[in-house]
Amino acid sequence: MTIHADLRSDTITLPSDAMKQAMIEAELGDDVLGDEPTVLKLQDTVATLFGKEAACFVPSGTMANQAAIRAQTQPGDEIITHRDNHIYLYESGAWAAISGCSIRLLDGDGGQFDAQSVLAAIQHEDAHYPNSSLLVVENTHNRGGGTVWSMDRLQSVTDAARQHGLRCHLDGARIWNACAASGIEPSTYAGCFDTVSACFSKGLGCPVGSIVAGDAETIHRVHRIRKLLGGTMRQSGMLAGACMHALEHNRNRLADDHQRARRLADAIAGIPGLELGPSPVETNILYFDVPGNADEFTARLEAAGIRMFSVGPRTVRAVLSLMVDDEGIDRTIEVLTDLAES
């Protein structure tokens, strides 16, 4: 059966021929010995992009977040984050397993919260309470519908945390999407945070790769934790070469994904029976409710050559990426219209 559009995730992206060429041509060394030239170049480039002293290349976004958490907490500390954040929902409870921390969850629309709720969540100094030591923010927010944080709000929540001595980590798996949507520089977002993680393996189209950036001392700790977690790689310049290629060639096209997501969202809003999620569609992710069971709906979509994930009893998610073009969206809209009627 032909698949006309695969909207399950932006993690499905396959490397282009040009990216594969960049991987083949990457200069290689041994990153465990510290002389992998392409990894060193990528780490330097990303540290500069984020305005940080250093960066550490890791296999996955989960390892990037969890190494950053481990590097900035002690066992028994408490992390403050939104209840829909990836670090809490989708990383196997690693904050507890790897860092021995508890977690305090905040509410708010679209995966966002305000300074008041951060202040209310910070434990005051008393031997009874866990030590609040790290605030984690996600931008763009995956579960919240690809929402983009405003700089004002980022500044105010991180200011609130810092006033009480907390460190701040940005889960920037899709920070490139946030930058493409807002026009804000990576370094401006990163300026509010001690550490930033970012993925190359989603919208940027790489097969593998994530990174953590921060001050030299913290990244030194991240580097040790990467080893502890078994994430140290050797001729990883082949992967870093793909990431360098993606930074140069695939960032500018993210705006196309956002435009297609909006076109799909507008169409869904006009299809009787389908209900677009509450968050504004600002980037490449959208959620909508279907009549009846979401698993059955996505099975019928699949039979018509359109792939999406069901993520709740009635809720379906669609994610735009370089794997879906304008024709794919046209076809998706036709199929959705048919299915909603039948």
Ligand X SMILES: *Cc1c(COP(=O)(O)O)cnc(C)c1O
Going by their DSSP bridges, the two strands 167-172 and 195-199 should be labelled as parallel
Instruction: Copy the structure tokens of residue 260.
Output: 């297609």
Instruction: Copy the structure tokens of residue 237.
Output: 């310049």
Q: What are phi and psi of 135, to 5 degrees?
A: -105, 130
Element (H, E) at 339: helix 326-341
Which residues, numbered 180-209, are part of the site for ligand X (CB under 6 A)?
199, 201
Q: How many CB atoms lie within 10 A of CB 230?
A: 9
Q: What are phi and psi of 88, to 5 degrees?
A: -90, -45
Instruction: Copy the structure tokens of residue 59.
Output: 């296999």
Which region among 56-64, 71-79, 122-130, 310-318 touches ligand X (by CB under 6 A)? 56-64
In the complex, the smallest distance separating the C-beta of residue 185 from ligand X, rounded to whole angstroms, is 20
Q: Is 283 in the site for ligand X (CB under 6 A)?
A: no
Contact pattern from residue 220 through residue 259 relative to ligand X, giving x for each residue in contact according to CB under 6 A and a dash for the rest: ----------------------------------------
Using CB atoms, what's the residue nearest to ligand X?
Answer: 61
d(CA 313, CA 289): 9
Contacting residue, 13, 38, 43, 62, with ligand X by CB under 6 A: 62
Fill in the amino acid letter for 28. Answer: L
In the complex, the smallest distance separating the C-beta of residue 59 from ligand X, rounded to whole angstroms, is 8
Q: Is 171 in the site for ligand X (CB under 6 A)?
A: yes
In the complex, the smallest distance separating the C-beta of residue 172 from ligand X, rounded to whole angstroms, is 8
The site for ligand X, by CB under 6 A, has a size of: 12
Q: Which is nearer to ligand X, 87 or 244 (CB)?
A: 87
d(CA 27, CA 17): 18
In the complex, the smallest distance separating the C-beta of residue 60 from ligand X, rounded to whole angstroms, is 4
d(CA 181, CA 209): 22
Q: Which is nearer to ligand X, 38 or 140 (CB)?
A: 140
Contacting residue, 13, 60, 132, 218, with ligand X by CB under 6 A: 60
Helix (H, G, I), strand (E, B) or coil at 89: helix
Q: Where along the sequence are the contacts to ligand X (CB under 6 A)?
A: 60-62, 65, 86, 138, 142, 171, 173, 199, 201, 210
